[in-house]
């Protein structure tokens, strides 16, 4: 029989079968591995504190030692039916879509990470934001903002859409990068990339600004902001999206919430492909077709569209919610 020590309290660890063989007296405390903390009242065993029991999402007890992990890639409910625990959370909004027609990269969804103390019984709704739609026409449409993810009373807005042709990037969890302003002065899209909605702190989450486009010299579009850094401007090589952040809440070290890349482009629309950023943001495109999208369930931004008249942005990656607690 195992004895548990907690500060100055020593408890026998038993199960249902061994408990019946104990010579118990009123007031005796034991830890029943099946039921929790129990006390003998002179005639019956009474549960004083039940074992923690929770369900919801995809459940995993093998990837992270001594922890149970609940992963939500679509809306659901986290249900606690007994006990209370400190619960870690990672909440990421959907990534913004990349802009079309020499557009900017999409911003990453806001990333929140922290611990909810002593979470007790109840049903907690979970929402998971979808990735923002790509800019998809030859007139330089913006990408759309990603959807909001939420859990335990915390919300992470989606990333801003990348600007299209002559439009600036839009605000979001991290801002979308702006497109460049064409040489004929058709718009003012070389303005600032979209701003993030939150400052970088555990209480408000992590998000950064998109990059600014450039309309002089070699023209270039801005990268979308990421959870770990702002998107590169058109003044910087390759106009990378901002880096994501790395966490191992589910037992595997994974980088998420990277911004989609912008990229350099010439007047005729032929340029270089911008590489994807840390956190699986989509790479910028320089040729006709559709740019890469942000990776699924990372909240990363889509890449920027390329050649004028034929370049479409990439869609943002969907968000994710992960909850974990010690067994």
The torsion angles phi and psi of 19, rounded to 5 degrees, stand at: -60, -35
pLDDT above 90: residue 166: no
For the record, the structure tokens of 200 come out as 């970088």
Q: CA 291, CA 286: separation in Å to the nearest integer?
A: 8
- Give pTM, 2 decimals: 0.82
| Residue 5: how many other CB atoms lie within 10 Å | 8
pLDDT reported for residue 161: 92
The pLDDT tens digits of the residues spanning 6-17 come to 445 667 777 777
pLDDT reported for residue 135: 86
Query: Can you say how many angstroms the Cα of residue 134 is from the centroid of all Cα atoms in its chain?
Result: 19
What are the domain boundaries of the chain?
2-50, 52-327
Which residue did the predictor score with more confidence, 115 or 20? Answer: 115
CB 180 within 8 Å of CB 235: no
Q: Which range (14-28, 125-139, 236-250) has the least confidence?
A: 14-28
């Amino acid at each position: 029989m195992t004895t548990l020590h907690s500060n100055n309290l020593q408890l026998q660890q038993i199960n249902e079968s061994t408990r019946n063989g104990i010579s118990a007296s009123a007031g005796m405390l034991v830890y029943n591995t099946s039921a929790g903390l129990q006390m003998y009242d002179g005639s019956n065993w009474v549960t004083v504190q039940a074992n923690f029991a929770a369900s919801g999402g995809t459940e995993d007890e093998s990837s992270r030692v001594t922890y149970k992990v609940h992963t939500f890639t679509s809306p659901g409910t986290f249900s606690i039916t007994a006990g209370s625990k400190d619960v870690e959370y990672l909440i990421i909004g959907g990534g913004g879509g990349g802009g079309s027609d020499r557009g900017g990269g999409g911003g990453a969804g806001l990333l929140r990470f922290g611990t909810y103390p002593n979470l007790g019984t109840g049903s907690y709704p979970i929402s998971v934001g979808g990735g923002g739609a790509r800019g998809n026409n030859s007139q330089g449409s913006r990408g759309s903002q990603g959807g909001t993810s939420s859990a335990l009373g915390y919300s992470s807005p989606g990333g801003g859409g990348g600007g299209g042709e002559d439009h600036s990037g839009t605000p979001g969890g991290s801002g979308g990068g702006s497109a460049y302003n064409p040489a004929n002065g058709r718009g003012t899209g070389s303005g600032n990339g979209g701003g993030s909605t939150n400052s970088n702190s555990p209480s408000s989450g992590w998000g950064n600004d998109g990059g600014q486009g450039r309309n002089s010299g070699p023209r270039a579009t801005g990268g979308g902001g990421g959870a770990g850094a702002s998107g590169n401007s058109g003044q910087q090589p390759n106009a990378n999206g901002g880096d994501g952040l790395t966490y191992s809440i589910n037992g595997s070290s994974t980088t998420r919430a990277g911004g989609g890349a912008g990229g350099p482009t010439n007047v005729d629309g032929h340029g270089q492909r911008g590489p994807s950023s840390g956190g699986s943001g989509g790479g910028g495109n320089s040729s006709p077709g559709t740019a890469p999208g942000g990776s699924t369930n990372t909240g990363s931004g889509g890449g920027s569209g390329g050649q004028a008249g034929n370049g479409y942005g990439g869609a943002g990656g969907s968000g994710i919610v992960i909850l974990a607690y010690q067994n």
